Structure 1
Amino acid sequence: MKIKNLKKIKAENQRNRQTGKLKHDVTRRLLDYLERKYEMRHNTALGCTEIRKTGSNEPFVAVDERMRNTIAIKARLDGIDVWDEDIRRYTESRFVMSFNPVEDFLNRLRGRWDGNDHIKALADCVPNDNDWWPDWFHTWFLAMVAQWMGLDTSHGNSVAPLLFSRQGYRKSTFCKRLLPEALQWGYNDNLVISEKQNTLRAMTQSLLINIDEFNALSAKTQDGFLKNVMQLASIKLRRPYRQQQVTLPRVASFIATANVSDVFCDPSGCRRFIAVTLTAPVRLPRHIDYDQLYAQAVAELESGRRYWFDEADTQAIMQNNVQYQQRTPAEALFFECFSVPKDLVKGAYMTAASIFSLLRQRYGSQLCLTSLSLFGRMLANIPNLHSKHSAYGTEYFVSVRSSAGLTGSLALNRK
């Protein structure tokens, strides 16, 4: 009885070894078949495996379930005993080489710049009366490419151009054509910024996000979520059906367009936008030399040119953006009666309480403010309004407009 059992075990082991060899042989035949028939690459930017026939000049396409089934059927017709699951296992393995389309595009441009300023030529396609625009756009463009290259893992590209004009000035066309055909997959202009998870995910997968109709954003979204995400260097996301979060590098930069100009709700948040008003429609050439455009960016970045905005730039940007600030009713009424002197000669210091009292005297309930502390906070956020601390509290240097007709203006005599 024991001898029979031993023979049975030996026979079973023999069959297992033969089956293992057969499976091993089928796997080798499948690898040889796939590598001979197809070119595959794992697109790290899109997070998928792409395929095309060996020797073909056709573009790569994503390997989906339909494609896997087709490959499996063809393999079986060629005598290889495999199933679609075997194909899926291969396409999602390290046997498929990794490929980053952005790195591939930029790497082949190294050392090819002709020395001409193609970035400035692109900026000049946007007619406006802001003398700083070409320099600011140049810095932002370098920051966008630096973001793709991962040159700074501690900071994100936290500044975005914001183009104002009425409809028909080709603002969106300009934004879209900033990317060459090879990178158009990375352009995103239909993102709902208030959908936080989708926005965070897009920042790891897109190259350029256009916030179209920026003026449609709520104050809460603009001053809260958007202000925060624009400065992120990395993104924490939870994968579908996973418990733990993963940290992914941020890739996307932002650009924005709007049809109305009074869009900024928070004076501190406006430093993140290069706002310009178009004086005429965008004049884009029929052909943009993208190779030279991006070859210049790569060359300048590798030579050490600055791609971030320093403190002087930030102050100039904020000063420029004052004209695009939204004014609350209280702020509008303040400027009806007072102006901000350019120097500390023509004017006088007044406390927030004194200013508030004079405005209430003239406008009554139209002031729409019942809290003196809120009014003081509004005054503190007015650009270039000089203040000082005294025995009376915080005082602001203002000038009364001659047309204001305010009574009690003797309060201005105290300097």
Structure 2
Amino acid sequence: MTKWLIAVVANAMDDLFCRNHTCLVLTGEQGKFKTTFLDLLCPVELKAYLFTGTIDPQNKDTQTLIAEYLFINIDDQLKALNKRDENELKNLITTPRVKYRRPYDTYIEEYPHLASFMASVNGNDFLTDPTGSRRFLPFEVEAIDIEAAKQVDINKVYSEAWWYWESGYRYWFDDAEIAELHRESEGFHVQTVEYEMLLKGFEKPSPTEESYMTTSEVLNYLRGYTTLNLSEKRMGEALRKAGFERKSRRIGGNPMYVYHIRKVFPNPFISSF
């Protein structure tokens, strides 16, 4: 949270680059004042530069929001984004500059990225891309004392954030912190049916056990126990997420990528019927 607040200051003061590469996300049950709390992060004097609502990542109007607002508070929309919109949103979070034509202007102009992103989600599972969680900084909300939050002088908070920025504080995440963010974000991922079936039907062999399968072989085995349309791409993501070791081995004289994996016995799909 500290890094994000300092990045808000850095982003607002830099006309050349986007300095805030993460979207602060509050998750949890409905009615926990998540959106209200996020709105409080914008000083009263700057409320005209706060946008709260839903956005269309593919719409050019969103480019205008990025250049003209200090905060974009996405209200309970992240779960509803399709894959294309999610990828576009991640691009918007980090794009250094935006281009659009203002009303009554003749030409398209380029403007610096001013806005910092934040969002609220009802429930916890909203991340769908196992490679993209670094753009989202999620916190599960159990309770918010909203009256106490209203008493916080947010101007003093940003004065301190300014001091940290001026002092050269590293507000961006290094590689180790990104890896930790990935681990901490696991509980916010949407669990695909591929991942659930993989964990039920397979396990890691001992280090010396010679047991290997390709993604297609794993997929074909699981397809025998479901009528659902399992995806090879999502299965590959599930194998990597579950931590199965990937190796290159020769099969029939040809090099192929395989996973060090074995089936669970007795067969859990049969015993569960």
How many Å separate the matches in 2 of 1:141 and 1:324?
A: 22
Contact 1:356 1:375 in 2 (8 A): no
Q: In structure 2, do the counterparts of structure 1 residues 181 and 263 end up closer, same or farther at CA, with 3 Å as the change threshold? A: same
Q: Does 1:276 align with 2:139?
A: yes
Residue in structure 1 matched with residue 8 of structure 2 by the alignment: 144
Residue in structure 2 matched with residue 390 of structure 1 by the alignment: 249
How many Å separate the matches in 1 of 2:4 and 2:78?
A: 21
Q: Which has the higher helix share?
A: 1
Residue in structure 2 matched with residue 116 of structure 1 by the alignment: none
Contact 1:351 1:394 in 2 (8 A): yes
What secondary structure sits across from 1:168 in the alignment?
coil
Task: Tell me which of 156, 171, 188 is aligned to 2:51.
Answer: 188
TM superposition score normalised by structure 1:
0.58
Counting only pairs closer than 5 Å after superposition, residues 367-386 of structure 1 correspond to structure 2 as 368-369=229-230, 373-374=232-233, 377-379=236-238, 381-382=240-241, 384-386=243-245
Residue in structure 2 matched with residue 90 of structure 1 by the alignment: none
Partner deviation per Cα, 1:189-219 (whole Å, 9 max, x = no partner): 1242345222110111111111111344322
How many Å separate the matches in 1 of 2:210 and 2:38?
A: 45
Q: In structure 2, do the counterparts of structure 1 residues 218 and 294 end up closer, same or farther at CA, with 3 Å as the change threshold? A: closer
Counting only pairs closer than 5 Å after superposition, residues 50-69 of structure 1 correspond to structure 2 as none
Residue in structure 1 matched with residue 117 of structure 2 by the alignment: 254
Q: What amino acid sits opposite 2:217 in the alignment?
A: S
Q: In structure 2, do the counterparts of structure 1 residues 351 and 234 end up closer, same or farther at CA, with 3 Å as the change threshold? A: same
Residue in structure 1 matched with residue 99 of structure 2 by the alignment: 236
Stretches of structure 1 that go unaligned for 5 or more consecutive residues are: 1-136, 408-415
What secondary structure sits across from 1:391 in the alignment?
strand
Shift of 1:281: 3.2
Q: What amino acid sits opposite 1:231 in the alignment?
A: T
Q: Does 1:321 align with 2:185?
A: yes
Residue in structure 1 matched with residue 157 of structure 2 by the alignment: 293
Counting only pairs closer than 5 Å after superposition, residues 6-405 of structure 1 correspond to structure 2 as 137-150=1-14, 153-194=16-57, 196-282=59-145, 284-339=148-203, 344=207, 348-361=211-224, 363-366=225-228, 368-369=229-230, 373-374=232-233, 377-379=236-238, 381-382=240-241, 384-392=243-251, 393-398=256-261, 400-402=263-265, 404-405=267-268
How many Å separate the matches in 2 of 1:391 and 1:338?
A: 22
Shift of 1:187: 1.4
How many Å separate the matches in 1 of 2:20 and 2:266?
A: 45
Which of 1 and 2 has higher RCO (CA within 8 Å, sep 6+)? 2
Contact 1:204 1:250 in 2 (8 A): yes
How many Å separate the matches in 2 of 1:263 and 1:340?
A: 28
Once superposed, what is the RMSD of the aligned Cα atoms? 2.7
Q: In structure 2, do the counterparts of structure 1 residues 282 and 200 end up closer, same or farther at CA, with 3 Å as the change threshold? A: farther
What is the number of equivalent residue pairs in this alignment?
265
How many Å separate the matches in 2 of 1:171 and 1:347?
A: 50
How many Å separate the matches in 1 of 2:120 and 2:269?
A: 41
Q: In structure 2, do the counterparts of structure 1 residues 347 and 167 end up closer, same or farther at CA, with 3 Å as the change threshold? A: farther
How many Å separate the matches in 2 of 1:388 and 1:378?
A: 15
How many Å separate the matches in 1 of 2:204 and 2:61?
A: 43
Contact 2:55 2:62 in 1 (8 A): yes
Partner deviation per Cα, 1:70-120 (whole Å, 9 max, x = no partner): xxxxxxxxxxxxxxxxxxxxxxxxxxxxxxxxxxxxxxxxxxxxxxxxxxx
Stretches of structure 2 that go unaligned for 5 or more consecutive residues are: none
How many Å separate the matches in 2 of 1:145 and 1:153?
A: 14
Shift of 1:354: 2.8
Contact 2:198 2:238 in 1 (8 A): no
Structure exhibiting the larger radius of gyration computed from Cα positions: 1
Shift of 1:404: 3.8
Q: In structure 2, do the counterparts of structure 1 residues 191 and 285 end up closer, same or farther at CA, with 3 Å as the change threshold? A: closer
How many Å separate the matches in 2 of 1:230 and 1:174?
A: 21
How much identity, in percent, do the aligned residues show? 26
Shift of 1:276: 1.9
Contact 2:17 2:113 in 1 (8 A): no
Partner deviation per Cα, 1:127-169 (whole Å, 9 max, x = no partner): xxxxxxxxxx10011001111111x723341201211111121
Shift of 1:253: 0.3
How many Å separate the matches in 2 of 1:406 and 1:168?
A: 39
How many Å separate the matches in 1 of 2:214 and 2:9?
A: 48
How many Å separate the matches in 1 of 2:79 and 2:216?
A: 35
What secondary structure sits across from 1:390 in the alignment?
strand
What secondary structure sits across from 1:189 in the alignment?
strand
Q: In structure 2, do the counterparts of structure 1 residues 271 and 385 end up closer, same or farther at CA, with 3 Å as the change threshold? A: farther
Shift of 1:286: 4.2
Q: In structure 2, do the counterparts of structure 1 residues 204 and 327 end up closer, same or farther at CA, with 3 Å as the change threshold? A: same
